[in-house]
């Protein structure tokens, strides 16, 4: 017996929901990869080097380097400090990574919600088929009359 239109639809939508759930799994995998492999402890030394440079800048006169070019050195370092002061002591990467780990969790929920809607649609069509089939069964069950 060939499947009815509703059955075909329900099967296609069930398969479609599986595709969408698979997409959500990909997002989960990306989140897991970012959480496990996306750390960058190696940026930290840069931040500390910048902090050390700033400390050294203020310490130069204290260690006897009060020479004619000290001013030149200080000016050069001051421009360096001015440039990176905004990022000084702060590694900008962890907040980026953390925000994305959280966002990927939300993306996964979003796709799973879409998958559930597709599943629900498949169920709706399946129920319509059952209803139709059921009505036929009722006819047959009560069809022995007159």
Partner 1 sequence: MAPISQTHPSPIWHMGDAIQALCDKFGAHGPFADLFSLMGQTDLDKIRHVATSVWGTDGQHSGQVAGSLLAVQHDLSYAAHDATPSWTGDANKAFAGSMDNLAKFFGTAGQDACDVGETLKKFADDADVSIGDGVAAVTGLIGAVVGALAGLAAGAITGPGDPVAAVVGAIVGLIIGLAFAYFGTLLPKIANCLSDMTDLAGQEPPTFKE
Told to check if 60 binds partner 1 by CB under 8 A, we report yes
Residue the block writes with tokens 């209803």: 131
Query: CA-CA distance, 101 to 35, in Å (whole number)?
Result: 7
CB atoms within 10 A of CB 87: 12
Query: CA-CA distance, 82 to 74, in Å (whole number)?
Result: 12
Binding mask 78-117 for partner 1 (x = CB under 8 A): -xx--xx-xx--x-xx-xx--xx--xx-xx--xx--x---
Query: CA-CA distance, 26 to 13, in Å (whole number)?
Result: 20
Q: What is the largest CA-CA distance in the chain?
A: 121
Given 67, 135, 137, 138, the residue binding partner 1 (CB under 8 A)? 67
Query: CA-CA distance, 136 to 133, in Å (whole number)?
Result: 5
Told to check if 2 binds partner 1 by CB under 8 A, we report no
Q: Which stretch binds partner 1 (CB under 8 A): 26-34, 126-134, 136-144?
A: 26-34
CB of 130 to partner 1, least distance (A): 18
Query: CA-CA distance, 143 to 139, in Å (whole number)?
Result: 5
Q: Which stretches of the chain bind partner 1, using CB under 8 A?
A: 5, 8-9, 12-13, 15-16, 19-20, 22-24, 26-27, 29-30, 33-34, 37-40, 42-43, 45-46, 48-50, 52-53, 55-56, 59-60, 62-65, 67, 69-70, 72-73, 76-77, 79-80, 83-84, 86-87, 90, 92-93, 95-96, 99-100, 103-104, 106-107, 110-111, 114, 118, 121
């Amino acid at each position: 017996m060939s499947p009815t239109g509703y059955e075909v639809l329900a099967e296609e939508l069930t398969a479609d929901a599986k595709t969408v759930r698979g997409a959500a799994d990909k997002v989960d995998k990306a989140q897991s990869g970012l959480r496990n492999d996306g750390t960058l402890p190696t940026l930290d030394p840069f931040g500390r080097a910048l902090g050390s440079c700033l400390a050294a800048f203020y310490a130069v006169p204290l260690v006897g380097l009060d020479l004619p070019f000290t001013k030149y050195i200080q000016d050069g370092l001051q421009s360096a400090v001015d440039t990176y002061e905004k990022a000084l002591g702060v590694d900008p990467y962890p907040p980026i990574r953390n925000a994305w780990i959280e966002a990927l969790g939300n993306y996964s929920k979003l796709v799973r919600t879409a998958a559930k809607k597709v599943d629900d649609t498949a169920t709706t069509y399946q129920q319509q088929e059952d209803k139709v089939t059921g009505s036929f069964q009722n006819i047959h069950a009560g069809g022995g009359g007159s």
